């Protein structure tokens, strides 16, 4: 089966002083989802947005909101983000090594559960909860900041995620996040990524539509027979 790749601009690289316009511009440029990075200054050494900001973004767009929780206590805070409109919620394995209860709670509250793995965590940790997931997020930079360089070892991890999905006969999406550019998007898609998160590559571009279209084409090139 061949699925179209989804492009999810990460709002972390947007101009926060013009958030409403930036969100609308990403939507007009063809974004499939919006990726929202929530950081608590504890799980990662950075602070970003809370539920009130997500609520404001929800009012600005009808795109699916993909909330990536880089927080130490995701079980406590995920409901707050679902209440204000999160459609997808990723929690980190490193913050929650027994994630099945939190993932089930996310689903019960009406959002799609996802498990994220940081660069030093093998994808195999996802296996015990794979049946409870709608997505696996493979981090291709160390979480905490936008604008970092794609770690090449992430390609093998995307392949691992795809093999795991095939082996278990499941249908979860595979998302890649961190340092994704027009140049490496095809390799990431070929390795297994269905959802390409891109912060700097979209919001740092002079023309968002050109960047998003180029990424979508890179995904399509990866899906085409060699």
Indicate the residue among 35 and 58 with the shorter CB distance to ligand DX5.
Answer: 35
Catalytic residue among 32, 37, 66, 160: 37
User: Which does residue 175 bind out of Zn ion, ligand DX5, none, counting CB within 5 to 8 angstroms by kind?
Assistant: none
Number of Cβ atoms within 10 Å of the Cβ of 9: 34
Q: How far is the CB of 34 from ligand DX5 (least distance, A)?
A: 11
Render the chain in DSSP notation, one character per residue. Answer: ---PPEEEEBGGGS-GGGHHHHHHHHHHTT-S-EEEEEEBSSSSS-B---HHHHHHHHHH--SPEEEEEE-S-HHHHHHHHHHTT-SEEEEETTT-SS-HHHHHHHHHTTSEEEEEE-TTS-GGGGGGGGGG-SEEEEESS-TT-SSPPPPTTHHHHHHHHHHHHHHHT---EEEEESS--TTTHHHHHHHT-SEEEESHHHHTSS-HHHHHHHHHHHHHHHHS--
- Residue selected from 32, 37, 186, 194 as contacting Zn ion according to rule CB under 5 A: 37
**Does the active-site annotation cover 105?**
no
Indicate the residue among 133 and 139 with the shorter CB distance to ligand DX5.
Answer: 139
Summarize as ranges the residues that interact with ligand DX5 (CB under 6 A).
10, 12-13, 35, 37, 68, 141, 143-148, 177-180, 197-201
Indicate the residue among 25 and 201 with the shorter CB distance to ligand DX5.
Answer: 201
* Mask for 57-76, x = binds Zn ion (CB under 5 A): -----------x--------
Q: How far is the CB of 118 from Zn ion (least distance, A)?
A: 11
Question: By Cβ distance, which residue is nearest to ligand DX5?
Answer: 199
**Does the active-site annotation cover 37?**
yes
CB 68 within 8 A of CB 177: yes
Distance of alpha carbon 16 from the chain centroid: 19
User: Which does residue 79 bind out of Zn ion, ligand DX5, none, counting CB within 5 to 8 angstroms by kind?
Assistant: none
**Looking at 72-80, 120-128, 172-180, 187-195, which segment touches Zn ion (CB under 5 A)?**
172-180
User: Which does residue 185 bind out of ligand DX5, Zn ion, none, counting CB within 5 to 8 angstroms by kind?
Assistant: none
Q: Give me the residues paired with residue 68 across strands.
A: 37, 90
Indicate the residue among 148 and 217 with the shorter CB distance to ligand DX5.
Answer: 148
- What's the CA gap between 124 and 128, in Å, rounded? 9
Q: Footprint of Zn ion on this chain (CB under 5 A)? A: 37, 68, 177
Provide the annotated active-site residues. 37, 177
């Amino acid at each position: 089966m061949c699925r179209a790749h989804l492009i999810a601009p990460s709002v972390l690289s947007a101009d926060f002083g013009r958030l409403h316009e930036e969100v609308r511009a990403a939507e007009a440029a063809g974004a499939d989802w919006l990726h929202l990075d929530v950081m608590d200054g504890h799980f990662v050494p950075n602070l970003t947005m809370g539920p009130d900001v997500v609520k404001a973004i929800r009012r600005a767009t009808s795109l699916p909101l993909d909330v990536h929780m880089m927080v130490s206590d995701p079980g406590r805070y995920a409901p707050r983000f679902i209440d204000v409109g999160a459609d997808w919620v990723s929690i980190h394995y490193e913050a929650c090594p027994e994630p099945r209860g939190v993932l089930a709670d996310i689903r019960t509250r009406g959002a799609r559960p996802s498990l994220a793995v940081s660069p030093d965590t093998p994808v195999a940790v996802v296996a015990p909860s794979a049946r409870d997931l709608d997505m696996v997020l493979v981090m291709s930079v160390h979480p905490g900041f936008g604008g970092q360089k794609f770690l090449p070892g992430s390609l093998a991890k995307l392949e691992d995620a795809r093999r795991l999905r095939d082996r278990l006969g499941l249908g979860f999406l595979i998302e890649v996040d961190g340092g994704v550019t027009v140049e490496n998007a095809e390799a990431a898609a070929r390795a297994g990524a269905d959802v390409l998160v891109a912060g700097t590559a979209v919001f740092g571009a002079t023309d968002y539509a050109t960047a998003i279209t180029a990424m979508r084409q890179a995904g399509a090139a990866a899906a085409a027979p060699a």
